[in-house]
Amino acid sequence: MKQINWNTDIGFPRIWHTKADNMYNKSEDDIELDIYKYGGGRTVYDISHITTQPSVLKIAINKYGKEEISNELQQRHNIKQPFKSRLVPIIHYGNGWCVQPKCEIPNNTRDIARQLQEQFKHFDMKDKSEIYSKNVGLYNNTPVIFDYGGIGFDLS
Ligand SMILES: Nc1ncnc2c1ncn2[C@@H]1O[C@H](COP(=O)(O)OP(=O)(O)OP(=O)(O)O)[C@@H](O)[C@H]1O
Ligand SMILES: [Mg+2]
């Protein structure tokens, strides 16, 4: 299969958009990709075999998942450094789906979560408990959060 470079390959993302847009609200049987992980609001597919950088496609399975994707886009866009680099970027998105770099998930995610809680400890957030072991990993060997739509950073 063709390798996608999301930054330079203009044609393929458009086709991919339509494809992924149509996936939202479909049953898992309709999607020809292997499920990598389940979350409460999104199903996560490993699409590394068709991307230049290891990547995951996250498809909302309910309205919470969909809201989470729009919150993530907005929050990552507005948050300032050094916190920005602690949130995994969204490389591509559409109606009810997004593509993120695939993070490494080592065994010590509890320690990673603790480190991130420490880094964000003075930041105003609606739900600090969302920074926990299941929502964190390593990106370029750096601790990051990949599920941050529910955190509610105070960006005012
Ligand atoms: N960027 C990523 N890299 C590697 N694994 C990921 C990534 N994003 C999600 N995952 C895996 O998929 C699981 C579910 O993803 P995520 O937490 O984003 O979904 P969710 O529906 O918001 O979950 P929940 O609401 O249940 O916390 C994660 O716990 C993690 O194992
Ligand atoms: Mg999660």
37 touches ligand 1 (CB under 6 Å): yes
Task: Write down the pTM of the prediction.
Answer: 0.86
CATH 3.30.200 fits 11-145, yes or no: yes
> What pLDDT does residue 45 have?
87
CA 140 – CA 152 distance, rounded (Å) = 25
Q: What is the mean pLDDT of the chain?
A: 84
Highest mean pLDDT among 17-31, 55-69, 137-151: 137-151
For ligand 1, whether the C-beta of 76 sits within 6 Å is: no
Say what the pLDDT of residue 70 is. Answer: 92
Q: Is the CB of 72 under 6 A from ligand 1?
A: no
C-alpha distances (whole Å) from 150 to each of 19, 32, 112, 127, 154 are 27, 29, 19, 7, 12
